[in-house]
Amino acid sequence: MLNPRNVTASAPGKTILFGEHAVVYGKPAIAAAVDKRAYVSIQEREDKKTHVTINNIGISGFLNIEQGTIELDNGENNEGILKYVLIALMKTGSKDGLEITINLDIPVGAGLGSSAAVTVATVKAASSFKYVKLTRDEIAKLAYQVELIVQGSASPIDTILSTYGGIVYLSRDAEKIIKLDIDSEIPLVIGYTSKRGNTGKLVESVRLKTESNPQVMIPLFNSMEALTNGAREALTSGDHKMIGEFMNINHGLLDAIGVNTDELSKMVYIARKKGALGSKLTGAGGGGSMIAYCPGKFKEVIESINEFENAFKLKISTDGVRLE
Amino acid sequence: MLNPRNVTASAPGKTILFGEHAVVYGKPAIAAAVDKRAYVSIQEREDKKTHVTINNIGISGFLNIEQGTIELDNGENNEGILKYVLIALMKTGSKDGLEITINLDIPVGAGLGSSAAVTVATVKAASSFKYVKLTRDEIAKLAYQVELIVQGSASPIDTILSTYGGIVYLSRDAEKIIKLDIDSEIPLVIGYTSKRGNTGKLVESVRLKTESNPQVMIPLFNSMEALTNGAREALTSGDHKMIGEFMNINHGLLDAIGVNTDELSKMVYIARKKGALGSKLTGAGGGGSMIAYCPGKFKEVIESINEFENAFKLKISTDGVRLE
């Protein structure tokens, strides 16, 4: 008997460098894929059932692709990330009878886009398992649809970064995706809290503020647009000081629109104190994570944050989704 | 022998509610006089020397009005607030031979405008001592000139508030001063750190940022203008929620332009957590003080800040400079 066929695909998580929240108002953003990945392996099962195990977070269960149902092994009701896997399998036209193993290298709830990475890797693995070759563009679009179905609303940023990798400038409504030609060794530290923000609620609260005081709020999104465009230039030319300054301004603007927290602020300020040229919350806010731009100061910044939260060095992943 | 003639004048300190730093760029601000005052008493001395004692901060010394010199009693070189007194005496055409006692009810270095209050009260006391009656407008202008001479540069806001009292909307370059008809019982708490910001350096750093990235920074000052105008309406109509929201946005914008600190941020966030509807740093930043708008939550907010810094309830003073 031959060894059973095994297809493994992986996709990176992401972090937003500039422009989060402003994208909702048609402004550009800059995001980067990070070298923390989701690995999705698919093998055939003889019993025509479909079973998924997610290592690292200890979730497993049976999926029924045909009927679109999930039954967790431990009987609990925490379907979590399995929903993304199910919808990704349905969207790729997969048939039941699969044993799927997921290794998640990305901390969940740290704003690093773990769900998008799992979705993109599942789309790639499932299509490859069927000998279907999708273009990156097709993968990104399918994965975005999966996120939309599971979450009700979604930003295309996460799935684009998990698919393409690298550092990407996304123009208005992500209509144009420009890979930036930047040294992938940009000196970033990420710090994250155990407290998780609710993206939907945060976006809604910003929308309400903007509706009640457009004359106050719209200039802030214009400023975010200008600084994202300025940061694109600074990143390309390697102007460390200016990259840091734009991060600091962006952080204040995110505080102004109401998505900063005490915990994030504490990490942001301690990073600057320990030598970071700039630091900001990243992603939706209300908890989650912050990034610090700290050439030559990794150790000091990581240690100081680790005294009360979690931090590690963030390497950019030039590789997007790939077969292993 | 008759009792020696004694003239006492007092003037309040101030706090900036909205628009600090933006005023440098021709934007409006809202500031309030607070019920912490400087009291300046003048009596004649027979020896034709002029001596000043500032209680509360333990500074005293001989001034020579004619020659414009200061000699501290303790021989130290810390002339501090005595310079304001000397220049105010010179500007009012006072003659040597005065015994001056100053009682300072305003914490120094908390951003509450103690130097302006001392200056305004000295101008009033010294002119009254000479039987000269100055209008409020004349007092504010003279006191502003004193601050300019002592500091090299100055905002007219402090001396205007110490002179007029109340809550004041200052239009572009303080050309127009509009007293707002607002309940003086607005529910404010002030918290201040022992760390003092350097106003001149902070204003300069904001100017450099603005020069290097006008497209990022100018929208922020436009937003501050819109929120100061919005806050004027909200204060007049008593819209508590909106006053708080404008404070929060203003704080984030002050963080964005780089004048916030870790210590201020901590106070600002704990105030919100303890029920303040809004909170912000006030004044130049880089240390100094913050204010919180907290109807019905004074006790909780003050207690929580007092655990690590200093806080007290701030009452608005409707009275400006006055004879006691």
B252: distance to nearest CA of chain A, Å? 4
pLDDT tens for each residue of B200-234: 889 999 999 999 999 999 999 999 999 999 999 99
Q: Say which CATH superfamily domain B188-313 falls into.
A: GHMP kinase, C-terminal domain (3.30.70.890)
- β B50-54/B98-104 pair status: parallel
Instruction: Tell me, yes or no, if the two domains B7-181 and B188-313 fold the same way.
Output: no
Lowest-confidence pick of A219-233, B14-28, B169-183, B187-201: B169-183
In chain A, at which residue ranges do the beta strands (DSSP E only) sit?
Answer: 6-18, 29-44, 50-54, 59-64, 69-72, 98-104, 167-170, 177-180, 188-192, 278-282, 289-293, 310-314, 322-323
Residue of B35, B137, B158, B181 marked catalytic: B158
Whole-angstrom distance, CA of residue B218 vs CA of residue B221: 5
Per-residue pLDDT, B152: 82
Per-residue pLDDT, B303: 96
What letter represents residue B234's amino acid?
A: A
User: How much of chain B is in helix, strand and coil states, percent to nearest 5?
Assistant: 40, 25, 35
Q: Residue B316 has what DSSP assignment?
A: B
Q: Per CATH, which fold does A7-181 belong to?
A: Ribosomal Protein S5; domain 2 (3.30.230)
Per-residue pLDDT, A221: 97
A113: distance to nearest CA of chain B, Å? 26
Which chain A residues are Cβ-neighbours of B256 within 8 angstroms? Answer: 223, 248-253, 255-256
Q: Return the structure tokens found at B34.
A: 């607070």
- Tell me which residue of A132, A36, A135, A40 sits closest to A86, measured CA to CA: A40
Residue B102 · residue B40 · CB < 8 Å: yes
Per-residue pLDDT, A300: 96
- Check CB contact under 8 Å for B256 and A257: no
Per-residue pLDDT, A3: 66
Q: Return the structure tokens found at B175.
A: 């050309």
Q: Angle at which helices A262-273 and B262-273 pack, to 10 degrees?
A: 170
Q: Return the structure tokens found at B116.
A: 């302006």
Report which secondary-structure segment, H or E, holds B201: helix B199-212
Most A CBs within 10 Å, among B18, B212, B216, to test the A interface: B216
Whole-angstrom distance, CA of residue A317 vs CA of residue A20: 20
Whole-angstrom distance, CA of residue A41 vs CA of residue A101: 5
How confident is residue B276, by pLDDT bands cut at 50, 70 and 90?
Answer: very high
Helix (H, G, I), strand (E, B) or coil at B72: strand
> What is the DSSP secondary-structure string of B95-112?
-S-EEEEEEE-SPTTSSS
Q: Return the structure tokens found at B32.
A: 């309030």
Which chain B residues are Cβ-neighbours of A244 within 8 angstroms? Answer: none
Q: Return the structure tokens found at B206.
A: 């904001």
Q: Would you kindly state where each structural domain of chain A is located, as residue ranges? A: 7-181, 188-313
Whole-angstrom distance, CA of residue A233 vs CA of residue B75: 56
Residues 6+ apart with CB under 8 A from B307: none
Q: What is the mean pLDDT of each run of 10 residues along chain A (324 residues)?
A: 82 96 93 95 94 91 95 78 96 96 89 93 97 95 95 86 94 80 83 85 93 97 97 94 97 98 96 98 92 94 95 92 96
Please state, rounded to an integer, the average pLDDT across all residues of chain B: 92
